[in-house]
Structures are given as structure tokens and as C-alpha cells.
Amino acid sequence: MIIRSADSGFQHPLPSEITPQGAYLGRREWLQRLALGAGGAALAGWASRDALAQAASARPNRLAALPGGRSGVAGAQTMEKLTSYLDASTYNNFYEFGTDKSDPAAHAQAMKTRPWTVAVEGLVNKPRTLGIEDLLKLAPMEERIYRLRCVEGWSMVIPWVGFSLAELIRQVEPQGSAKYVEFVTQADTAAMRDLRSRVLLWPYVEGLRMDEAMHPLTLLAFGMYGEVLPNQNGAPVRLVVPWKYGFKSGKSLVKIRFVDKEPRTAWNIAAPQEYGFYSNVNPDVPHPRWSQATERRIGEEGGLLAKRRKTERFNGYEAQVGQLYAGMDLKKFY
């Protein structure tokens, strides 16, 4: 039995349970037409309209299917409009393939994602190297609809498929001295054209505190939009930490290390005064060169003239993760 508390947050219905807007509008129109006495003809129109609305939310049919069941994790659903698959898979930061947003989609196909192994090592009782096939079977797949807030000031809403990182962590039995988790990502010089550049120190390394890594919202993702991840989004396996700026969510993971000291992360090494270890989404802590108070939601109604949204503390996940940082000065530990 799941006991809900104030910390569970608002329990959103599954997107599939929400009446499609087309059906909702169609029903009203149908009632109006009935009133006008044109019931028979309207019925056919309503049925086709509904079919259309369903098709719009179907998977993109680009890659292999990877369905996920409903997630019971608090905060794993949102009623916000999903970012289109096209936008989510063509507007990416994945510097190994180039620094332009369109570079990853253009060049990431060169990366081989099979065979693929992830080494789980460091301060654990049961270190192991898992093949991607074993990793996929480690726990049941769940669909999680998360907001993604980039440190650059834009955001998306993406239906990820995966399971909590905690499922994996429990299996390797971390030792008491393990305080942090370091995530090392792929650095394949043959496939990744920008590894030659000195934009960042390669391989790209990210890290979380142990309690952050164990939080149920921290997702080990294998898919999005009901399919396996496209390479540019971090295939075959990536991290998604929805309450932190996007760069904390490492892509194409090859190593997960349990360590006793705070890991030196790629952006922190490149510009320590700009990118802190925590990098929790926080509208009150501006980036030294821009405000973080607002964000541009990609694909927002209104296009060019759409207003920027107010950025929420912890990207709107404060109810779920706020207690991890109780008593911490978030301006100091940015």
C-alpha cells in the first residue's frame, strides 16, 4: 500500500488518462450539433477527430520500442505539454559531437552503442561490469515525464523510460565510506569529432552526493517517447536528474564509481565560479553572466512571441527533494 504524505506532491493523472483536447472539444461540438438535430452526421466526425488526437500522442516510430509502465514515484508525472520529439532530438548539448545545438543530431550516429558495458566500481561490496542487455533487465521500465531545465535558460518536458538509479545502487551494496557517486561518460575518439577540442576535459565526468543518487527521482534512462534513446540524447543509457541543470545528467554512461570525496566534474573544472557541484535549479542564484529567474520553454504556444516562464526552485521538484538540502546555504553551494 502506498501511503501519501505532504511530501508526495500533487498526484498527477497519467497523460493517457487525460482526455485528449480533441476529444474534449469534439464532445462539446457533438452536443451542440445534437441540439441542432444533426446527431447522425456529427457522430462520424467526432469519432475521426478522436482518432486523430490519439495519433498525435503516439510514439515517433523512429527507433526500437521501449515501453515503460506507470511510475509510482512522486513527481514522476506532469500534465504539462510534452516537447515534440523532433525538438527534443535535434536541439541538444552533447559537446563531444560539437558545441552547436544541431551538431549532436548531425554527428552522433557515428557512435556505436552495441556492445556496451557499464562498469560499476569503487567503494562497493559487489563491483560489477554490466552489459547493456543485463542493465535493461535489472528492474522494470517506468515512464517518467520530467521537466528538463538547461543552465542556458531553456526547458523541455520529456517522457523518459528507465528506472531509479537506486535499483542499481542497492544491488552493488555501497560501503559506508561511499559518500559520492561519479559518472564517467563515453569518450570514443573515433566517433566523437570534438574530443580533439579542448572545450572541456574529456571524458565528461559528473557526480552526485550519495543521497541525491539514491533519490527515487534520479533516473537511469534508456529511452524516451516510448523508444530507445537516440544517440544524441545519450544512448544507450544516461542519467536524468530533473531538479538539477541539464548538464548534471550525464549521457552515454560507461562507468559509475562510488567514492569518498566530491568528484571533480567537467564543467566545474572548466569554470568553477560558474558551475558548482550541486547546480540545483534555482531562480534566486543567477549565473554570473545571466539571470536564472526565467526560462524559455521549447515549443511553447506563440512561437517567437511566447513569454518566458518563471523558473521554479528545484525545477518544481522542491516537495520531493527539498529535504535533501535542509540547512544548506544554496547560494554558497550552488
Site of interaction with another protein (CB under 8 A): 86-87, 90-91, 99, 101-102, 152, 154, 197, 199-200, 270-271, 274, 286, 289-291, 296, 298-299, 303-305, 307-308
State how far the alpha carbon of 278 is from the alpha carbons of 54, 55, 214, 283, 331, in Å: 40, 40, 15, 14, 11
Residue 316 CB, shortest distance to another protein, in Å, is 21
Residue 198 CB, shortest distance to another protein, in Å, is 8
Say if residue 137 is exposed, middle or buried (CB neighbours under 10 Å; 0-12, 13-18, 19+). Answer: exposed
Q: Which residue has the cell 535499483?
A: 167
Residue 80 CB, shortest distance to another protein, in Å, is 16
* Prior bond of 115 cis (ω within 30°): yes
Could you give the CA distance from residue 169 to residue 120 in angstroms, rounded to a whole number?
9
Could you give the CA distance from residue 78 to residue 15 in angstroms, rounded to a whole number?
8
* Prior bond of 60 cis (ω within 30°): no
Q: What is the DSSP string of 203-228?
A: SPEEEEEHHHHHSTT-EEEEEETTEE
> Judged by CB, which is closer to another protein: 56, or 304?
304
Provide the terminal-to-terminal Cα distance of the chain, rounded to the nearest Å.
37
> Judged by CB, which is closer to another protein: 119, or 199?
199
* 214 Cβ neighbours under 8 A, 6+ residues apart: 165, 166, 169
Residue 284 CB, shortest distance to another protein, in Å, is 14
> Judged by CB, which is closer to another protein: 43, or 270?
270
Residue 205 CB, shortest distance to another protein, in Å, is 15
> Judged by CB, which is closer to another protein: 84, or 171?
84
> Judged by CB, which is closer to another protein: 216, or 230?
230
Residue 199 CB, shortest distance to another protein, in Å, is 5
> Judged by CB, which is closer to another protein: 170, or 309?
309
Could you give the CA distance from residue 196 to residue 198 in angstroms, rounded to a whole number?
7
